[in-house]
Amino acid sequence: MLIVGLTGSIGMGKTAAAGNFRRLGVPVHDSDRAVHATLRRGGPETRAIGQAFPGVVRGGLVDRAELGKQVFGDPAALSKLERILHPAVRKSQRRFLERAARRRAPLVVLDIPLLFETGGDAVCDAVITVSAPAFLQGKRVLSRPGMTRSRLQSILKRQLPDPEKRRRSDFVVQTGLGRAHSLRAIRNIVKVLRRIRGRKWLPSLSLKGR
Protein backbone atom coordinates (compact mmCIF):
# COMPACT_ATOMS: atom_id res chain seq x y z
CA MET A 1 0.00 0.00 0.00
CA LEU A 2 1.35 3.38 -1.02
CA ILE A 3 0.90 6.19 1.51
CA VAL A 4 0.70 9.64 -0.05
CA GLY A 5 0.81 12.90 1.87
CA LEU A 6 -1.34 15.75 0.61
CA THR A 7 -0.47 19.23 1.82
CA GLY A 8 -0.53 22.90 0.90
CA SER A 9 -0.61 26.28 2.55
CA ILE A 10 -3.86 27.94 3.55
CA GLY A 11 -6.04 28.91 0.60
CA MET A 12 -4.16 26.78 -1.93
CA GLY A 13 -7.06 24.41 -2.70
CA LYS A 14 -6.17 21.35 -0.64
CA THR A 15 -9.77 20.60 0.36
CA ALA A 16 -10.87 20.52 -3.27
CA ALA A 17 -7.89 18.33 -4.15
CA ALA A 18 -8.78 15.86 -1.40
CA GLY A 19 -12.30 15.75 -2.79
CA ASN A 20 -10.90 14.86 -6.20
CA PHE A 21 -8.96 11.95 -4.73
CA ARG A 22 -12.14 10.65 -3.12
CA ARG A 23 -13.95 11.12 -6.43
CA LEU A 24 -11.33 8.86 -8.02
CA GLY A 25 -11.87 6.19 -5.39
CA VAL A 26 -8.79 6.87 -3.27
CA PRO A 27 -9.35 6.67 0.53
CA VAL A 28 -8.46 9.97 2.22
CA HIS A 29 -7.79 10.66 5.89
CA ASP A 30 -8.67 14.27 6.75
CA SER A 31 -6.61 15.54 9.69
CA ASP A 32 -8.83 18.58 10.21
CA ARG A 33 -11.89 16.36 10.37
CA ALA A 34 -10.07 14.10 12.83
CA VAL A 35 -9.49 17.13 15.08
CA HIS A 36 -13.20 17.96 15.03
CA ALA A 37 -14.08 14.35 15.86
CA THR A 38 -11.55 14.37 18.69
CA LEU A 39 -13.18 17.36 20.36
CA ARG A 40 -16.33 15.45 21.28
CA ARG A 41 -18.37 16.21 24.35
CA GLY A 42 -16.64 14.94 27.46
CA GLY A 43 -13.74 13.37 25.56
CA PRO A 44 -10.23 13.22 27.05
CA GLU A 45 -8.87 15.88 24.69
CA THR A 46 -11.80 18.16 25.45
CA ARG A 47 -11.13 17.80 29.17
CA ALA A 48 -7.41 18.43 28.65
CA ILE A 49 -8.16 21.58 26.67
CA GLY A 50 -10.51 22.75 29.40
CA GLN A 51 -7.74 22.38 31.96
CA ALA A 52 -5.11 24.05 29.77
CA PHE A 53 -7.32 26.90 28.56
CA PRO A 54 -9.78 28.04 31.25
CA GLY A 55 -13.17 29.12 29.97
CA VAL A 56 -13.04 27.50 26.52
CA VAL A 57 -15.10 24.41 27.41
CA ARG A 58 -18.76 25.16 27.94
CA GLY A 59 -21.41 22.53 28.46
CA GLY A 60 -18.85 19.84 27.78
CA LEU A 61 -17.97 21.25 24.35
CA VAL A 62 -15.04 23.34 23.16
CA ASP A 63 -15.97 26.90 22.24
CA ARG A 64 -13.76 27.12 19.15
CA ALA A 65 -14.07 30.88 18.84
CA GLU A 66 -12.88 31.39 22.42
CA LEU A 67 -10.10 28.84 21.98
CA GLY A 68 -8.98 30.66 18.85
CA LYS A 69 -8.79 33.93 20.77
CA GLN A 70 -6.57 32.35 23.40
CA VAL A 71 -4.09 30.74 21.01
CA PHE A 72 -4.04 33.26 18.16
CA GLY A 73 -0.77 35.17 18.16
CA ASP A 74 0.55 33.17 21.13
CA PRO A 75 3.07 30.53 19.98
CA ALA A 76 3.37 29.01 23.45
CA ALA A 77 -0.39 28.56 23.76
CA LEU A 78 -0.59 27.13 20.26
CA SER A 79 2.17 24.63 21.04
CA LYS A 80 0.30 23.60 24.17
CA LEU A 81 -2.84 22.98 22.11
CA GLU A 82 -0.92 21.00 19.49
CA ARG A 83 0.58 18.76 22.18
CA ILE A 84 -2.98 17.81 23.10
CA LEU A 85 -4.37 17.37 19.60
CA HIS A 86 -1.53 15.93 17.52
CA PRO A 87 -1.30 12.55 19.33
CA ALA A 88 -5.05 12.06 18.85
CA VAL A 89 -4.78 12.86 15.13
CA ARG A 90 -1.87 10.43 14.73
CA LYS A 91 -3.92 7.73 16.45
CA SER A 92 -6.77 8.40 14.03
CA GLN A 93 -4.33 8.12 11.12
CA ARG A 94 -3.03 4.77 12.37
CA ARG A 95 -6.56 3.38 12.58
CA PHE A 96 -7.28 4.64 9.06
CA LEU A 97 -4.11 3.01 7.68
CA GLU A 98 -4.85 -0.27 9.46
CA ARG A 99 -8.36 -0.37 7.96
CA ALA A 100 -7.01 0.47 4.50
CA ALA A 101 -4.38 -2.27 4.78
CA ARG A 102 -7.00 -4.84 5.74
CA ARG A 103 -9.01 -3.82 2.68
CA ARG A 104 -5.85 -4.13 0.53
CA ALA A 105 -6.13 -0.56 -0.73
CA PRO A 106 -3.27 0.03 -3.19
CA LEU A 107 -3.15 3.77 -2.48
CA VAL A 108 -4.26 6.05 0.36
CA VAL A 109 -3.93 9.78 1.01
CA LEU A 110 -3.17 11.53 4.29
CA ASP A 111 -4.54 15.07 4.07
CA ILE A 112 -2.31 16.99 6.51
CA PRO A 113 -2.12 20.81 6.39
CA LEU A 114 1.17 20.98 8.35
CA LEU A 115 2.70 17.84 6.85
CA PHE A 116 6.31 19.02 6.65
CA GLU A 117 6.05 21.22 9.73
CA THR A 118 5.06 18.25 11.94
CA GLY A 119 7.31 15.66 10.29
CA GLY A 120 4.34 13.79 8.87
CA ASP A 121 6.14 13.31 5.56
CA ALA A 122 8.30 10.68 7.27
CA VAL A 123 5.49 8.12 7.03
CA CYS A 124 4.68 8.93 3.39
CA ASP A 125 5.98 7.22 0.27
CA ALA A 126 5.24 10.34 -1.78
CA VAL A 127 4.11 13.90 -1.13
CA ILE A 128 1.77 16.07 -3.19
CA THR A 129 1.59 19.82 -2.64
CA VAL A 130 -1.24 21.96 -3.98
CA SER A 131 -0.21 25.46 -4.97
CA ALA A 132 -1.62 28.64 -6.45
CA PRO A 133 -0.37 32.20 -7.12
CA ALA A 134 -0.09 34.37 -4.01
CA PHE A 135 -2.72 36.84 -5.22
CA LEU A 136 -5.25 34.05 -5.67
CA GLN A 137 -4.37 32.55 -2.31
CA GLY A 138 -4.99 35.91 -0.63
CA LYS A 139 -8.27 36.40 -2.47
CA ARG A 140 -9.53 32.98 -1.39
CA VAL A 141 -8.53 33.31 2.25
CA LEU A 142 -9.67 36.92 2.75
CA SER A 143 -13.14 35.98 1.52
CA ARG A 144 -13.58 33.75 4.59
CA PRO A 145 -15.70 35.11 7.46
CA GLY A 146 -13.61 36.85 10.13
CA MET A 147 -10.37 36.67 8.17
CA THR A 148 -8.07 39.69 8.03
CA ARG A 149 -4.72 40.35 6.41
CA SER A 150 -2.96 40.35 9.77
CA ARG A 151 -4.53 37.03 10.68
CA LEU A 152 -3.54 35.58 7.33
CA GLN A 153 0.05 36.73 7.79
CA SER A 154 0.14 35.19 11.26
CA ILE A 155 -1.04 31.86 9.83
CA LEU A 156 1.48 31.96 6.99
CA LYS A 157 4.33 32.53 9.44
CA ARG A 158 3.57 29.12 10.98
CA GLN A 159 3.60 27.39 7.61
CA LEU A 160 6.54 26.38 5.49
CA PRO A 161 6.74 28.78 2.52
CA ASP A 162 5.02 27.53 -0.61
CA PRO A 163 8.23 27.41 -2.71
CA GLU A 164 9.88 25.20 -0.07
CA LYS A 165 6.84 22.89 0.06
CA ARG A 166 6.96 22.53 -3.71
CA ARG A 167 10.70 21.86 -3.66
CA ARG A 168 10.32 19.07 -1.10
CA SER A 169 7.37 17.40 -2.84
CA ASP A 170 7.24 14.65 -5.43
CA PHE A 171 4.25 16.18 -7.21
CA VAL A 172 2.77 19.67 -7.39
CA VAL A 173 -0.83 20.38 -8.41
CA GLN A 174 -1.50 23.91 -9.62
CA THR A 175 -5.02 24.84 -8.50
CA GLY A 176 -5.21 28.29 -10.05
CA LEU A 177 -5.95 27.02 -13.55
CA GLY A 178 -9.49 25.81 -12.95
CA ARG A 179 -11.16 22.76 -11.45
CA ALA A 180 -10.94 20.71 -14.62
CA HIS A 181 -7.17 21.21 -14.81
CA SER A 182 -6.72 20.20 -11.16
CA LEU A 183 -8.82 17.06 -11.62
CA ARG A 184 -6.82 16.04 -14.70
CA ALA A 185 -3.54 16.57 -12.86
CA ILE A 186 -4.70 14.50 -9.89
CA ARG A 187 -6.06 11.76 -12.16
CA ASN A 188 -2.66 11.55 -13.87
CA ILE A 189 -0.86 11.35 -10.52
CA VAL A 190 -3.18 8.59 -9.33
CA LYS A 191 -2.49 6.59 -12.50
CA VAL A 192 1.25 6.89 -11.94
CA LEU A 193 1.11 6.04 -8.25
CA ARG A 194 -1.05 2.98 -8.83
CA ARG A 195 1.68 1.61 -11.08
CA ILE A 196 4.45 1.86 -8.55
CA ARG A 197 5.07 0.35 -5.13
CA GLY A 198 7.86 2.39 -3.53
CA ARG A 199 9.46 5.81 -3.21
CA LYS A 200 12.65 4.64 -4.96
CA TRP A 201 10.82 5.07 -8.26
CA LEU A 202 9.69 8.63 -7.67
CA PRO A 203 12.82 10.68 -8.40
CA SER A 204 12.57 9.71 -12.09
CA LEU A 205 9.13 11.31 -12.32
CA SER A 206 8.68 14.91 -13.36
CA LEU A 207 5.07 15.92 -12.87
CA LYS A 208 5.68 19.09 -10.84
CA GLY A 209 3.69 22.02 -12.11
CA ARG A 210 1.70 20.06 -14.70
Its domain, for residue 16, covers 2-204
* 3-state secondary structure labels for all residues of the chain: CEEEEEECCCCCCHHHHHHHHHHCCCCEEEHHHHHHHHCCCCCHHHHHHHHHCCCCEECCEECHHHHHHHHCCCHHHHHHHHHHHHHHHHHHHHHHHHHHHHCCCCEEEEECCCCCCCCHHHHCCEEEEEECCHHHHHHHHHCCCCCCHHHHHHHHHHCCCHHHHHHHCCEEEECCCCHHHHHHHHHHHHHHHCCCCCHHHHHHCCCCCC
Does residue 48 belong to any structural domain of this protein? yes
Q: Does pLDDT of 204 surpass 60?
A: no
Whichever domain contains 23, its CATH number is 3.40.50.300
Does residue 27 belong to any structural domain of this protein? yes
Does residue 209 belong to any structural domain of this protein? no
Confidence (pLDDT) at 39: 86
Q: What angle separates helix 75-102 from helix 44-52, to the nearest 10 degrees?
A: 170
Number of domains in the chain: 1
Q: Does pLDDT of 203 surpass 50?
A: no
Q: Does pLDDT of 177 surpass 60?
A: yes
Question: pLDDT exceeding 70 applies to what percent of the chain?
Answer: 93
CA angle 124, 127, 133 (to 5 degrees): 155
Does residue 162 belong to any structural domain of this protein? yes
- Pairing between β-strand 107-111 and β-strand 28-30 as defined by DSSP bridges: parallel
User: What is the rounded average pLDDT for all residues in the chain?
Assistant: 89
pLDDT digit string, tens, across residues 18-69: 999 999 999 999 999 999 888 887 789 999 999 999 999 988 899 988 998 8
Does residue 210 belong to any structural domain of this protein? no
pLDDT digit string, tens, across residues 68-96: 889 887 889 999 999 999 999 999 999 99
CB distance 38 to 85 below 8 Å? yes
> For 192-205, what is the mean pLDDT?
61
Phi, psi of 21 (to 5 degrees): -60, -45
Does residue 177 belong to any structural domain of this protein? yes
Say how many C-beta atoms besides its own lie within 10 A of residue 77's C-beta: 15
CB distance 191 to 32 below 8 Å? no
Confidence of residue 205 (pLDDT cuts 50, 70, 90): very low
